[in-house]
Structure 1
Amino acid sequence: MTFRENANIGAGRASRGGGGSGGLAVGGGLGALVLALVVMLLGGDPGAILGGQEPTTSNAQNVDLAECRTGADANENIDCRMKATMLSLEDYWTAAYPSAQPADAILFSGGVNTGCGQASSAVGPFYCPVDRHIYLDTAFFQQLEGQLGGDGGSFSQMYVLGHEYGHHIQNYTGALKASQQDAQGPESGAVRVELQADCFAGAWAGNATQTKDADGNLLLEPLSREDIESALSAASAVGDDSIQEKMQGQVTPHTWTHGSSEQRMGWFMRGYESADPNQCDVLNASSVNDY
């Protein structure tokens, strides 16, 4: 997916943050993040789970987000692309779910201080329900492509942000708490929360080309098949089974927190093909395979 060259992205809700390194993060990303969310909601210390992780570094050249003004900037630079994507997400979800205040995205390198504590980029992209911000070190996209097998396309990056914004919507609906009630397993609340966020990302994608910039003009060019395949590549790469096979050489469904590659792709496509977030009620589905 590409942004229209003359689109005005100056109002995108993304900023740069930083400060510190450590291991506290919640509400998305990879591995122990959902467990950290559970611990936090129960009044415990998520740092006990994530405190030992080291920050990663990025080879990308960060830009001053104030200089990200047009769709052409978003097409050329990852940071600007994240800012423009936030503008599209805000435009869509403000209309689809008016009671939810817009989220903000904080781009950082290495580590960042959040309302949920101090976080390292090692935990991947995440959403903090306390301060209602999305946190992202764009170095993750190097891992997504190199280590996890994503295709590295621009829409795979946008899908990641769309997924995290889905957690923001869940924070308002109350769905995010399902991770607290049932933390792991193939049909767990944690898995259902993640799959619903994938479906929400798909619903946004199904409407993304109708979203508008700060001047009321369309933000995006028409979605191509390659864009959808790029999103599916990312969804597949971060499936529990795919990650476990790569990292430990075996698949252990009883420890799943995000769902399989097939399930993540399936729920994304359900959201995309219906273009309706009301079709994303994974939490009440008889099975997470009912997509």
Structure 2
Amino acid sequence: MRFNPKARIDTGQVENRSGGGGGFGGGLGGSGMRIPIPSGGGGRVGLGTVVVVIIYIVIQAIGGNSPLSPLTDGSDGTSSTVSDHCQTGEDANRDQACAIDLLTNSIQNYWAQTLPDQQGTQYVDIKTVKFRGSTSSGCGRAVSAMGPFYCPNDQRVYIDLDFMDDMLTGQLGAEGGPFALGYVLAHEYGHHIEDQLGILGQMRTQQGPRSDSVKAELMADCLGGMWAKDAQKTTDALGQMIISDLTPDDISRAINAAQSVGDDRIQKESGGKVNPEQWTHGSAAQREHWFNTGLKEGSLEACDTFAPGAL
């Protein structure tokens, strides 16, 4: 994947935070982090029962053909992303932190066009929060062990840069590749679309092969596939194409990332038996299927995992 060097990055869609220590613990254990489901009605939910929708991407060896360099700290100990050096697609091709910014722009540009066209609803821009270690969120303390997540309480996507460093240096698991990062972000922004459509506020069941949690995760995979289908059509504020080159290998690596976080695969790799009653995200085959559905169909209707008989 290559960004158009002339594309301009809208850094206003991203928050850079220095982060801090501590946090509330937790992380990936067994078949993955369990997602608290609200028991009340729609709308925003309290911190104790908030739906923190997490995708725990497992990406091991980044291909040698990746044009993106690992995230590094500046000499003063602060993240190199806490600066104004991310300006263009050329910067994004050199620096993974800048790539996060431009991918955010691409995904939001896609939904600003697609949501009104397909649903008659105006898309609401939000921000990607980049941090290291831990930071505060509307869903409580965000820590690295949680992986990327969307918080509906403050409508932010949280990306821990240490997590992304581990992804780039092959410490987490699967094929990887630069477009896998796009899959991570597109999945989380898929949860924002679900939030705008009122789906997250209506979720009730947390575990099981046909639980609301699994349906929401698979729908987010499908929505991520929708973006991937038209990623090369997205533009910056001046109408410049954002992504100039996207190959079948890039798509394959994104699909591999989706497969790698299937509940059944995680259960097997953790040494346990496959138990669908404990699933929160869906199987590897389901995640691949729904990403491909979005990639092929490109429609919200096709991505409705809550429709009768969809699962």
TM tier, smaller: 0.7 to 0.9
2:86 to 54, 68, 80: 68
Q: Distance in 2 between matches of 1:107 and 1:235?
A: 22
Per-residue CA shift, 1:104-136, capped at 9, x if unaligned?
Answer: 100111101011121211111001101100001
When structure 1 is superposed on structure 2, of 185-194 and 271-280 the one drifting more is: 271-280
Q: What is the CA-CA distance between 1:39 and the residue it aligns to? A: 7.3
Q: Is the 8 A contact 1:144 1:150 kept in 2?
A: no
Q: Is the 8 A contact 1:14 1:107 kept in 2?
A: yes
Q: Tell me, what secondary structure is at the counterpart of 1:278?
A: coil
Q: Tell me, what secondary structure is at the counterpart of 2:255?
A: helix
Q: Distance in 1 between matches of 2:83 and 2:32?
A: 30
When structure 1 is superposed on structure 2, of 218-227 and 157-166 the one drifting more is: 218-227
2:282 to 235, 256, 259: 259
Gapped regions of structure 1 (runs ≥ 5): 50-58
Match of 1:54 in 2: none
Please give the TM-score of this superposition, normalised by the length of structure 1.
Answer: 0.85
Q: What is the CA-CA distance between 1:276 and the residue it aligns to? A: 2.0
Structure 2 residue 232 is matched with structure 1 residue 232 = no
Q: Between the two proteins, what is the percent identity of the paired residues? A: 38
Q: Distance in 1 between matches of 2:248 and 2:239?
A: 26
Q: Distance in 1 between matches of 2:277 and 2:171?
A: 24
- Structure with greater helix percent: 1
Q: Distance in 2 between matches of 1:156 and 1:103?
A: 21
Please give the TM-score of this superposition, normalised by the length of structure 2.
Answer: 0.80
Counterpart AA for 2:260: A
Q: Tell me, what secondary structure is at the counterpart of 1:105?
A: strand
Match of 1:158 in 2: 182
Q: What is the CA-CA distance between 1:143 and the residue it aligns to? A: 5.0
RMSD value over aligned CA atoms?
2.6
Q: Is the 8 A contact 1:236 1:264 kept in 2?
A: yes
Distance 1:19 1:38, change over 3 A: farther
Q: What is the CA-CA distance between 1:46 and the residue it aligns to? A: 5.7
Q: Distance in 1 between matches of 2:171 and 2:263?
A: 14
Match of 2:102 in 1: 84
Match of 2:32 in 1: 31
Distance 1:44 1:8, change over 3 A: closer
Q: Distance in 2 between matches of 1:262 and 1:80?
A: 32
How many residues align structurally?
273
Q: What is the CA-CA distance between 1:213 and the residue it aligns to? A: 1.1
Match of 2:173 in 1: 149
Where relative contact order (Cα < 8 A, 6+ residues apart) is larger, the structure is 2
